[in-house]
Amino acid sequence: MLTIVELLIGVVVIVGVARYIIKGYSATGVLFVGGLLLLIVSALMGHKVLPGSAESTGYQATDIIEYIKILLMSRGGDLGMMIMMLCGFAAYMTHIGANDVVVKLASRPLQYINSPYILMVAAYFLACLMSLAVSSATGLGVLLMATLFPVMVNVGISRGAAAAICASPAAIILSPTSGDVVLAAKAAEMPLVDFAFKTTLPISIAAIVAMAIAHFFWQRYLDNKENVAHEMLDVNEITTKAPAYYAILPFTPIVGVLIFDGKWGPQLHIITILVLCMLIAALIEFVRSFNTRQVFDGLEVAYRGMADAFVTVVMLLVAAGVFAQGLSTIGFIQSLISIATSFGSASIILMLVLVILTMLAAMTTGSGNAPFYAFVELIPKLAHQSGINPGYLVIPMLQASNLGRTISPVSGVVVAVAGMAKISPFEVVKRTSVPVIVGLIVVIVATEILLPSSAVLH
């Protein structure tokens, strides 16, 4: 009975939050109120409000405020600082004319390629490759917004389509050595190399190709349906004194992430890389002009860009975190897990139930890891009881958790991308929805083809 009550409370609050955000209320304020409401109800029901790693203040009421402080320090200090640095870097690249140079150069292929959507698909494949270097979905989304987004918009791709490309590369796990894959291999009772390279990677590649094709047709359909005015700049109207080699500067963070990954050189945090890239750009500016005041004024633009990012993106991420914690503490995910265990042993039925519930949990909490880590604990027991190959259940769940996050209006990556693109999180979700559904179908079909559903008897 308690499971149903917890589910109903979660659903009511989710519907209320969605309603007010759709009506145009501040997403930050609505998510804060929804999250605080859930945390208060959780406390009244006797649930622990703080995560296990945090020390209680001794009172449930102050624990709720304590959690907001924890989020402000963690998301404002690490992820938040990364977002602010990326936004500041993007503002600086615009100020010194580097983005204008990129647009001038990027517009040349369009003389031979009539459709900007082909360029969009190429950007999507590049973004997916970047996911090998940047493990954080939100971090990758913000990095792409600071680098690829301005280029895509200025060569004729709509803001919604460009934002969807930046939000969706981490929807499919491509890295064979990510923490999720290692955990999934253990639950699937398979050697990591076999699980990662022989099964997960081929399924991921097939899903990425299918999602790229879906992006091409879906984004073009939405643009035509909504009569979206493409903001393609006439390159002849772009006047910049920046030299052609400035075109490399907006992409130096991507180059830095690939170089300083611990294999080719020292392993540097992306914030360290961004500081280095900004210093290099400022130094080049000084060498060109020998005007110290001009360089310092340019850096002021970067600082203001960082401040704007705190207001529009970081606080929204904190609010989304409060909401996600509220859903977690009230027992929403645990209730979904208990539903999953109540189904029978038919392999395809059980697999689909687990996939759907993982997707729902990821969509409502905005987290890809939390639902998967919660559900994956069930797999060995469920598989052994039902005589099902555990890998057959694990792989679709692994991908569904990340796919679900990509169509969650409260996930970090969607919120951050929407904030930087100055569009609604629901617009981003609408843009990513069809490619995500296509990707999920391909994952399920490929799993059916590549993996036996029955457990192999030894």
How high is the pLDDT of residue 146? Answer: 78
Residue 230 has a pLDDT of 60
Query: Which pLDDT score, from 0 to 100, does residue 114 have?
Result: 65
Which pLDDT does position 107 carry in this prediction? 58
pLDDT at position 339: 67
Q: Going residue by residue through the chain, which has 458 residues, state the pLDDT in tens, using 9 for 90 and above.
A: 556 777 788 888 878 887 777 676 777 788 888 888 888 888 888 888 887 777 888 788 888 888 888 888 877 777 678 778 877 887 888 788 887 776 666 656 655 666 788 888 988 988 887 777 666 778 778 878 877 888 788 777 888 999 999 999 888 887 665 667 777 888 888 887 788 788 888 999 999 999 999 999 999 999 888 887 665 545 455 566 778 788 888 778 777 877 887 777 788 877 888 889 999 999 998 988 888 888 898 899 988 888 887 877 778 778 877 877 787 788 776 676 666 666 655 677 778 888 888 888 788 777 766 667 667 766 776 777 667 788 888 889 888 988 988 998 888 889 889 988 888 888 999 999 999 999 999 999 999 888 776 655 43
pTM for this entry: 0.69
What pLDDT score was predicted for residue 457? 41
Distance in angstroms (rounded) separating the CA atoms of residues 160 and 296: 34
For the chain, what are the domain ranges? 78-170+195-315
